[in-house]
Structure 1
Amino acid sequence: MRREVVERIERVIKDLWPTADVQVFGSFSTGLYLPTSDIDLVVFGKFREGDSLPLWRLEEALRKHKVVEENSVKVLDKATVPIIKLTDSLTEVKVDISFNMKNAVKAAALIKDYKKKYPVLPYLVLVLKQFLLQRDMNEVFTGGISSYCLFLIAVSFLQLHSREDACSPNANTGVLLIEFFELYGRHFNYLKTGIRIKDGGCYLSKDEVQKSMLDGYRPSLLYIEDPLQPGNDVGRSSYGAMQVKQVFDYAYMVLSHAVSPIAKYYPNNHSERYRAGLGLMGEGYCHIISSDGRNRR
């Protein structure tokens, strides 16, 4: 279905610019998409940087060919990355289209490489994406963090994990989920520490990072060094990072209680558990984790 959406849009683009190259990136390209995820497309061609005319020409053509729902298409030509946002008229799948964004395709390749290196990574990331989606925290503009930020902090978590078996194909995903929530909900120092995943990964002192920044600038609360563009802070727009930290912390508390050997003697209030945001997902994952809780150290 999603491939058909891409093909319909690509035909419109090729009709406008026959030599244009249309590529898929983002979660659909990497296989880390949820049923509600949008499709990210980038159009490569001889377009002048900063010229918004191609955006408006494509928007007009998509309307003309009735590829989009009439009221869904928007041109965001003043955004940091100018894009067209639309909803496919047949499937209601949402699509974002940008122009000449080379780093977007490189990021997709980077994600695929890390998926091969850490077999457990896709499972962990998909659970976390659904977790944030249920709380409207899967987008920066709603006070959450981007999928790319989430992926990078998950990579860092596995890179710097104290147990070697955490990265094996047989690692207990439920245990890793609890430990992820514990790290980023309780122990990670957002005020003083940044994240780097290049060269095996490490933590960065924000004081040291700031020394290399222009006067008046400082690392963001969720500072993540861009592995593809040194000097770029991937988390700079994540103004709601502390709200994300809070839901991670509460999820850690609820899941830890659920798998504790003495949990049955001190049950959590059922409504509180659902407010924690575990909902339908929590029941299943509590079972997965408790089935091998001894792996946790």
Structure 2
Amino acid sequence: MSLSPVPPALVDPPTSIPAPDASPSPAPSPAPTPAPTGPVAPTEPAAPTEPAAPTEPAAPAPARDALAGDFISFDDSDNDDDGDNPWIQTADAPLSADVEAMDSDHGLDDDELARKVLGTDYTPSGTPPPWRAESSGSGNGKKRKRDATKPSFVELVEERLMDSKRPPWVVGKSYSDNLTVMLHEEIIDFVEYIQPTNEEHFLREIAVASVRKMLLAEFPNAEFSVFGSFQTMLYLPHSDIDMALSFDESRYINPTSILSRVDRLLRRSCDFTKIEFVRSARVPIVKAVHAQFGFAIDISVNQKNGQHTVKAVKQFMREHAALRPLTLVLKMFMFCRELNEVYHGGVSSYTIITMLLSMLQTHPLLVRKELRAEENLGVLLLEWLELYGVCFDHRKVTVISDGFRIKDREAKYFPGPPINPMFLSIRDPTDTSNDLARGSRQAPEIIGAIRWAYYTLTIAIARCHALKRKPVSLLGLILTVDPSILEARQALLEIHKELDAHSDKLIAAQNKRRNDERNSRQTRRESCAAAAEKAEQAAAAAVGAGRSNASLAPQRKTEVVEFVEDDSDE
């Protein structure tokens, strides 16, 4: 269902979003201009015939007011009692200057930064970066006049709400009228849609087996292992397969030398394409793509901690039912914005898992068991987006699996190299000396994308409440499934059908051969049994004949003796 046209009074982002009202509303009257939530430059009242100048999205508080009982507060008295808690920000600065300051300091390009935040379908002429203040960038605090030809952030959200195109995971589905419940149900449907099918997993196992056979033939003394999302079943259709070669005499092994041989081995094979040896990564790897199935593979050397990580993640998923579905949603969210590759400055799936654990294991309502996580996925997704997109200051805070640490005090807790304050810092739950986000150079894009998603969803829910309209999809506002992924999955299904049909023919041929061999053996057994029976009969006949001759011998002897006697008498 598409939304009706928005009245002019509701086009620009209000500083106070109206709360939902279950009772029928009277005819709309001219709404008074709301008071701003933060310090803004004084402006003249807009003419009745001209829309007011759009502003940045409102602070979280008005959005929470609009959501009323649907939203669960993460703030609680159980939080860290430090007065300078860097996770808490004041309401008059909802869009903290951290991303803007880092952006201006590093000279990031507006279009490139916004493209990474908004997704791959960004067009520079129509979508301004949503988290930025309308400033000139000179640092003098003066407001820059907004380009009237560009739509405001709320207009963009409303435009997407009016889009009747359905994401593939909502086709044929119906959802609750409660929008946060709808978001929860939509997450479940998305996970069912995007998770690997039995056919896809079977083909991945074939690809793994082919790589294992080839590498062990080249390195017979090595141990081959698979780790990462393939083992935890947290992979998406586009996810790569992490493999490793391990050697007992690891102190004498040069990983670069081994990977060079792997690189040459893959290039000689016709089964792999797009082969790349990434020497500059913190962990050198050889990347390739399986030519038949299209699966990306990463091969490393002596990554024995990968199996420990797999065991830990499986244990975390057993303890937290919400971890798997939220991980799949956020992995796809990062992939849509090209922020999912660590060696390109993004975040890994294990980093996302750790960030989720930090929230799930410290959320007051979850800790007190007053909230069932598996029944509130939509609320928890909003909480996570708010926590890391609005409240989180990555320059001051290090994330750990059961909370956070202030970076200035971290040295006494965790060993390892010093932390770059401009980067994210997220500690490995299985090895606290390992900073998972050490290579995540795109911190502005990552935090900005999370913040954009939070404001997109909260404003969309508030506007739907205000307009009393039900959206086609909420999750589809921040996630897209590229058509190439759908085509690849369909191609894999066709390949599996062909292999299945071919295997059926092979199985039928094998069964026929086995039946023929069985019939042949049965015929030979019957022939042998018949021959044996004849032989036994012949032997029995021979024995019977021998006995007859033996009984006649004394009589003949007697006759001869008598004849001789008779002859002698004569």
TM-score (norm 1): 0.82
Residue identity in the other structure for 2:215: I
The equivalent residue for 1:182 is 386
1:194 and 2:398 aligned: yes
Decide which of 390, 406, 431 is 1:205's aligned counterpart: 406
Does the 8 A contact of 1:193 with 1:206 survive in 2?
yes
In structure 2, the partner of 1:37 is 239
Larger radius of gyration: 2
Matched residue SS, 2:431 = coil
Instruction: Read off the aligned partner of 2:404 and give its amino acid letter.
Output: Y
Closer, same or farther in 2 for the Cα pair 1:134/1:262, shift >3 Å?
closer
| 2:454 is aligned with 1:252 | yes
Partner of 2:257: 53
Q: CA deviation at 1:161?
A: 0.9
Distance in structure 2 (CA, Å) of the matches to 1:177 and 1:120: 10
Aligned partners of 1:166 and 1:176 also within 8 Å: no
Aligned to 2:207: 5
SS state at 2:432 partner: coil
What is the Cα-based RMSD across aligned positions, in Å? Answer: 3.0
After superposition, the C-alpha distances for 1:160-197 in whole angstroms (9 at most, x for unaligned) are: 11212587463221111111101111112222221222
Question: In structure 1, what is the equivalent of residue 365 of structure 2?
Answer: 163
Written as runs of structure 1 = structure 2, the 5 A alignment for 1:61-100 is 61-69=265-273, 72-100=274-302
- Deviations along 1:243-268, one digit per CA (max 9) or x if unpaired, are 2111111211121122237634399x
Query: Which of residues 130, 133, 154 in structure 1 aligns to 2:332?
Result: 130
1:35 maps to amino acid: P
Instruction: State the AA in 2 paired with 1:33.
Output: Y
Please, what TM-score do these two structures have when normalized by structure 2? 0.44
Would the aligned equivalents of 2:398 and 2:424 in 1 still touch at CA under 8 Å? yes
Evaluate the alpha carbon distance shift between residue 181 and residue 169 of structure 1 in structure 2; reply closer, same or farther with a 3 A threshold: closer
Once residues 114 and 210 of structure 1 are traced to their aligned partners in structure 2, the CA distance between those partners, rounded to angstroms, is 26
CA contact under 8 A between 1:9 and 1:62: conserved in structure 2?
no
SS at match of 1:6: helix
Q: Point out which structure has higher relative CO (alpha carbons under 8 A, 6+ apart).
A: 2
**Structure 2 CA distance for partners of 1:76 and 1:170, relative to 1, 3 Å:** closer
Structure 1 residues 83 and 218, CA gap change in structure 2 (3 angstroms): closer
Give the Cα separation in 2 of the matches to 1:12 and 1:224: 36
Structure 1: 5+ residue stretches without partners: 282-297
Per-residue CA distance 1:93-130 (angstroms, 9 max, x = gap): 10000111111221122111111110110000000011
Q: Distance in 2 between matches of 1:154 and 1:174?
A: 14
In 1, Cα distance between equivalents of 2:372 and 2:444: 31
1:193-244 deviation per Cα after TM superposition (whole angstroms, max 9, x unaligned) = 21222xxx12112111146789993354321122233322221111212221
Cα distance in 1 for partners of 2:283, 2:428 equals 16
Number of residue pairs matched? Answer: 273
Deviates more, 1:201-210 or 1:173-182: 201-210
